[in-house]
Amino acid sequence: MVLRFFLMVLASLPLAAGEQPRIVLDDAAGERARAAHELLGDGGGNHLFYLPTHDQPATPASWGFKFENITFNSADGTPLHGWFIPARGEKPLGTVVFSHGNAGSIGHHLGFVMWLVEAGYHVMMYDYRGFGKSGGTVDRRGMVDDVKAAFAHVRGRAGVDSGRLVSYGHSLGGAKSVTALGEGPVRGLRAVIIDGAFASYQAMARIIGGQLGASLVTDELSPRDFVGKLSSVPLLVVHGSRDEVVPVAQGRELYDSARQPKTLFEVKTGRHGDSLSRDDGAFRKRMLVWLAGTMDG
């Protein structure tokens, strides 16, 4: 996730004779942290959590699905772009707002949601500021506001039952959506799903970059400070035990910090992007049953 950042930092801070990279990252004396702060400024590593692209490798049409290009504005006026993909089936079961991970653009993340369209859910997916065809530049505060703007847009759409909404976020998208929804509830929200999400920006920086990494990012707006503020909407935490990017302990921390009602799917064979599709979609089936329960409640 943030490997590019730490490679850049290490490239700018040469090793002493015989010094090992792990020791550099531990940075016990804080010398390299001070040098990196001079180079990047306070919190200068925050924006390097994000790896946006502006390409469009595929659209829902590539999968044989109808879709609509949509545009809407975030709270500060930043223009955002997304897709609205109508559910298959006679009567939509609800509408899922999908918040994607830290890299690429929405065209890279279709595999996370097309099965939900097939299962009878409308899906709205969108790019944060600085990603895809959206305007602006990446910014932690602004991206949280972009999540809120996506819900505001979908609630006003014709043909959407605003009382049957679902938030689904993968990785960074799970972190952003937890913070956004913890800051303010969304009317009509029936369920919150996070898959492979992390609890803390600094914790992730420390996992990859040691103490040096942790010293170069801030922890403001981290989901662990907001997951306990979610309203009484049911929460589903999905995390692969073999997640090679975000350790499963991060998902457990979010689950433990959340209020009831909450459910944990810890997928023993799951990795960062495939927990729900493992074992012929066994956990997809379980998620659909769980979702049906939230819609009927």
Q: Is the pLDDT of residue 273 over 50?
A: yes
The mean per-residue pLDDT over the stretch 14-42 comes to: 47
Q: Is the pLDDT of residue 152 over 70?
A: yes
Predicted confidence at residue 59, as pLDDT, reads 98
Predicted confidence at residue 210, as pLDDT, reads 83
**For 12-21, 68-77, 208-217, which range has the lowest pLDDT when averaged over its residues?**
12-21
Q: Return the percentage of the chain with pLDDT > 70, whole number.
A: 85
Predicted confidence at residue 30, as pLDDT, reads 52
Nearest C-alpha neighbor of 215 from the set 43, 24, 35 = 43
Q: Is the pLDDT of residue 118 over 80?
A: yes
Count helices and strands (H / E) in the chain.
9, 10
Rg of the chain (C-alpha set) = 19
Write down the pTM of the prediction.
Answer: 0.88
Place of tokens 């994000």: 50
Cβ 259 vs Cβ 228: under 8 Å: yes
Domains and CATH numbers, the chain: 53-201+217-296 (3.40.50.1820)
- Burial class from Cβ neighbours inside 10 Å (0-12, 13-18, 19+) for residue 88 reads middle
Measured in degrees and rounded to the nearest 5, phi and psi for residue 296 equal -85, -15
Q: CA 37, 104, 39 angle in degrees (round to 5)?
A: 10
Q: Is the pLDDT of residue 290 over 80?
A: yes
The mean per-residue pLDDT over the stretch 132-157 comes to: 97
The mean per-residue pLDDT over the stretch 52-66 comes to: 97
Predicted confidence at residue 49, as pLDDT, reads 85
- Burial class from Cβ neighbours inside 10 Å (0-12, 13-18, 19+) for residue 232 reads exposed
Predicted confidence at residue 6, as pLDDT, reads 46
In angstroms, the Cα distances linking 66 to 1, 125, 172 are 32, 14, 27
Predicted confidence at residue 26, as pLDDT, reads 53
| Six token digits for residue 181 | 């929804």
User: What confidence tier does 66 reach under pLDDT thresholds 50, 70, 90?
Assistant: very high
Element (H, E) at 236: strand 235-240
Q: CA 75, 53, 65 angle in degrees (round to 5)?
A: 85
The mean per-residue pLDDT over the stretch 19-24 comes to: 41
Predicted confidence at residue 158, as pLDDT, reads 94
Distance between CA 151 and CA 148 in Å, rounded?
5
AA identity, residue 141: R
The mean per-residue pLDDT over the stretch 128-137 comes to: 98
Q: Is the pLDDT of residue 259 over 60?
A: yes
Q: Is the pLDDT of residue 8 over 70?
A: no
Predicted confidence at residue 231, as pLDDT, reads 86
Q: Give 188 or 8, the one with higher predicted confidence.
A: 188
Predicted confidence at residue 125, as pLDDT, reads 98
Predicted confidence at residue 5, as pLDDT, reads 45
Distance of CA 86 to the CA centre of its chain: 22
In angstroms, the Cα distances linking 74 to 33, 267, 289 are 34, 35, 33
Predicted confidence at residue 31, as pLDDT, reads 52
Predicted confidence at residue 3, as pLDDT, reads 43
The rounded mean pLDDT for the chain is 88
Q: Return the percentage of the chain with pLDDT > 90, whole number.
A: 77
Q: Give 89 or 266, the one with higher predicted confidence.
A: 266
